Amino acid sequence: MTEALKILLVILMLATISGCDGLFFDETPSTKPLEVYDAFTYELNAKSAFLQYVSVDVDSLFNDHRNQIKQYDNGSQLIRSLKEILNELEDAHTRLIYSMPREQMYIRYDKWKTKYLKNDLSDISHYFESYSVIGGERIEYGKLKNK
């Protein structure tokens, strides 16, 4: 194979590869509240190990909030519904991080601290070399001491 043919083949392969990403991936994630909500409930159903054990009718909960989002169709209702769902499920392991114009927040279920006082841990900062505290109340992540 001649050198020119090899170069042409490489150029064609690069053009094909770089032009195909739009065929397989959306350029930008959806910002439509109902599509975001459906993706959230799908992921929660697929990946929550404890969802089958909660004392809540999850399908009814999801459908009620889906109807509210369809009715109002705005980002504020979406955030309100997601927060209500996480509070209703009482799952302290699930956190939702979101970003809206001029606002970046996260939602988590915190009522377990008062509901289950025996589970409230004492100060554990002495186990870490360095760590980050969020909201002044708990260690979010850190580097453990190697002892």
Give the mean pLDDT of the chain. 75
What pLDDT score was predicted for residue 140? 61
pTM of the model: 0.56
What pLDDT score was predicted for residue 123? 66
6 belongs to a structural domain: no
- Which of the two residues, 32 and 101, has the higher pLDDT score? 32
Domain extent, residue 40, equals 33-110
Both 39 and 105 in a single domain?
yes
Both 105 and 135 in a single domain?
no
Per-residue pLDDT tens over the stretch 37-92: 999 899 888 888 788 888 888 899 999 999 999 888 888 888 889 888 888 888 77
58 belongs to a structural domain: yes
What pLDDT score was predicted for residue 64? 93
- Cβ–Cβ < 8 Å for 145, 129: yes
Q: From residue 46, give the alpha-carbon distance in Å to each of 43, 89, 119.
A: 5, 15, 27
Distance CA 131, CA 121 (A): 16
Both 105 and 120 in a single domain?
no
Cα dihedral sign, 65-68-74-77: negative
15 belongs to a structural domain: no
Number of domains in the chain: 2
Both 85 and 126 in a single domain?
no
Per-residue pLDDT tens over the stretch 21-36: 555 555 666 678 899 8
98 belongs to a structural domain: yes
Q: How far is CA 33 from the centre of its chain?
A: 15
What pLDDT score was predicted for residue 83? 87
In the chain, the percentage of residues whose pLDDT exceeds 70 is 63
18 belongs to a structural domain: no
pLDDT tier, 122 (very low <50, low <70, confident <90, very high otherwise): low
102 belongs to a structural domain: yes
Both 124 and 98 in a single domain?
no
85 belongs to a structural domain: yes
